[in-house]
Amino acid sequence: MFTQTKREADRLAYAMGRSYPCQALHGDISQNQRERTLSGFRDGRFNILVATDVAARGLDIPNVDLVSDLGHIICRCLAHLLILIFKLRPVIPPIYSGGTL
């Protein structure tokens, strides 16, 4: 998944990482950590990589099922929505699933 800014990549990876194995990749991450992140993605230790579009240039990763460049507006909306959902999740009441009250 691609974002336009490093902050968006970090925030989206953090929000998604609460439920899915996920890592961020961008220019503020040390070269050593970037290599470990790419190695983990290639090896299948996690299956969602959130990268800035600049950091993603030139990546060659085999066996990728889906590449999502959601575009400027859609990506920002999705990122903000996911962050909001994960922030509000503890206060959202569970959906009634049947039985007696």
- pTM of the entire structure? 0.60
Amino acid at position 39, single letter: S
| Topology (CATH level 3) of domain 2-91 | Rossmann fold (3.40.50)
Cα–Cα distance, 88 to 92 (Å, whole number): 6
Crossing angle (nearest 10°) for helices 6-17 and 72-88: 40
Task: Summarize pLDDT for 55-83 with one digit per residue, the tens.
Answer: 666 676 666 666 665 455 556 667 777 77
Task: Summarize pLDDT for 3-48 with one digit per residue, the tens.
Answer: 888 998 898 898 888 888 999 999 898 989 988 998 898 888 988 8
